[in-house]
Every structure is written in C-alpha cells, then in structure tokens.
C-alpha cells in the first residue's frame, strides 16, 4: 500500500506518517528531510529551502528515487510526506509509480487553519546536534535544551514571514491536488486540529 499524506505546513504530517509506518511497516519518504540533507552540501538547494522556494520537480523525484534505493525497500509500502506539492508533481508521481507496476492507494489530507499552522510552526525548534524537533507550545524541551544536551534553534523556514509565503504556495499549488485525488477516488480528509492519538486512530480506521 502506498500513501500520500498532505496538509498545510505544521499540520502534523511527519508525526502521523511516523505512526502509520510503525503500525503498518511502511517506509517513510519525507521529501523535506531528503532536501535538507542535500542542502548540507548544496548551497543552491539550501538557498531555495531557506527562501521557501520549491525545488524543481525533476530534481525532487530524482532525490526521492535515490532515497528509496538507499533504503532498499522497493516501490511498495511507502508513505510520501511533503511530496507531491503541486499537480504536476502529483502526475509525475503517479506515472513514476505506474512505471514500477504500483500506484497511490490513499491521499490523506490533514486539515488545519492557516492561523493554527503559523502558531505551530513559529513555535518549532530543532536540535543542532541530533535533529530532534520540539514545539514550545505542545512539546516543550525540559530545561530549554534537547534531551541529548544539544542547543535548539529555529529553522529559517519556520519564521513567520517565510511561513506565510509557504502557506500561500500551499493554497495555490498544493490544494488543487485534492480535487485530482478526489476524482481518482483516493482522497480521505482528516481534521488535523485534534490530539495526535485521535487523528491517528481515525487514519487507521479508514486504512482498514
């Protein structure tokens, strides 16, 4: 089973994707993490991420393919988190999977308001040492530092002005995927402004 999980920035896609992977044994293909890893050695990619610009479609699918090959998991039982981001990428992903004799089974959309997205993301902090992610509102670190002792920082793309730019791109480019997924019969909408466990239980019910 292949799943695409969509939602505005801060909707909890990564958290829910991790929980689904643990429960169903899927491989978590997180495009954001893949691109951030690339950005460590590629200043062009880093500049695009920091400015809220979307990396070109052909590059992104290529990096995703590299990650799947690195993991050695094949093209079944994947959950795509943060990709596709626009209708063209959605078509690319469908064709790419079809050429590998598989498909998208579900597109899960986590619905939250823009106000909630800004609140969540502007409160997010990441450990410089190990990469653990905290939220000053919902999951604050004890003593103001990571459990590993590392210092926390706010990512450039979690600052309010960049968040608003990313949300505008989401509404313009990503939300049209929902119409296409609904036509494909794969779309499932979930209220993302509830407790994590409640959201997860609803997702598992619809997947069963």
Mark residue 12 as left, alpha or beta (left: phi above 0; alpha: psi -120 to 50; beta: remaining).
left
The full length of the chain comes to 208
3-class SS letters over 33-101: HHHHHHHCCCHHHHHHHHHCCCCCHHHHHHHHHHHHHHHCCCCCCEEEECCCCCHHHHHHHHHHHHCCC
On the question of pLDDT at 11 being above 80, the answer is yes
Phi, psi of 41 (to 5 degrees): -120, 5
Measured CA to CA, the distance from residue 37 to residue 104 in angstroms comes to 25
Active site residues: 13, 85, 124, 155, 166
pLDDT for res 183: 98
pLDDT for res 56: 87
Higher-pLDDT residue of 3 and 120 is 3
Instruction: Tell me the domain boundaries of the chain.
Output: 3-113+173-207
Q: pLDDT per residue over 131-190, tens digit each? A: 888 888 777 898 889 999 999 999 887 888 888 988 998 999 999 999 999 999 999 999
Among the listed residues 57, 136, 50, 125, the one whose alpha carbon sits nearest the alpha carbon of residue 91: 57
Say which range, 12-26, 107-121, 149-163, has the weakest mean pLDDT: 149-163
Who contacts 124 (Cβ-Cβ below 8 Å, separation ≥6)?
10, 133, 134, 135, 136, 154, 155, 158
For residues 67-78, average pLDDT: 93
Measured CA to CA, the distance from residue 153 to residue 18 in angstroms comes to 23
Say which range, 16-20, 50-54, 73-77, 140-144, has the weakest mean pLDDT: 50-54
Average confidence score pLDDT of the chain: 92
pTM of the model: 0.81
Q: What angle do CA 151, 122, 133 make, to 5 degrees?
A: 40
**According to CATH, what is the number of the domain 3-113+173-207?**
3.40.50.300
Q: For a pLDDT cut of 90, what percent of the chain falls above it?
A: 71
Measured CA to CA, the distance from residue 35 to residue 33 in angstroms comes to 5
Measured CA to CA, the distance from residue 36 to residue 131 in angstroms comes to 11
Measured CA to CA, the distance from residue 128 to residue 149 in angstroms comes to 10
């Amino acid at each position: 089973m292949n799943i695409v999980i969509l939602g505005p920035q801060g909707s909890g896609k990564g958290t829910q994707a991790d929980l689904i992977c643990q429960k169903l044994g899927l491989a978590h293909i997180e495009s954001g993490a893949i691109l951030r890893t690339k950005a460590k050695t590629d200043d062009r990619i880093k500049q695009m991420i920091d400015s809220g610009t979307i990396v070109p479609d052909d590059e992104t699918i290529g990096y995703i393919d590299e990650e799947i090959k690195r993991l050695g998991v094949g093209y079944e039982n994947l959950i795509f988190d943060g990709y596709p981001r626009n209708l063209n990428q959605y078509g690319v992903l469908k064709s790419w999977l079809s050429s590998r004799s598989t498909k998208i089974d579900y597109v899960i959309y986590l619905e939250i308001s823009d106000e909630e997205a800004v609140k969540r993301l502007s409160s997010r902090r990441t450990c410089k040492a190990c990469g653990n992610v905290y939220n000053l509102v919902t999951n604050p670190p004890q003593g103001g530092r990571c459990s590993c002792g590392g210092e926390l920082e706010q990512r450039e793309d979690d600052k309010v002005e960049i968040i608003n730019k990313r949300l505008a791109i989401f509404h313009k480019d990503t939300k049209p995927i929902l119409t296409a997924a609904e036509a494909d019969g794969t779309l499932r909408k979930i209220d993302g402004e509830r407790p994590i466990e409640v959201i997860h239980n609803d997702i598992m019910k619809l997947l069963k």
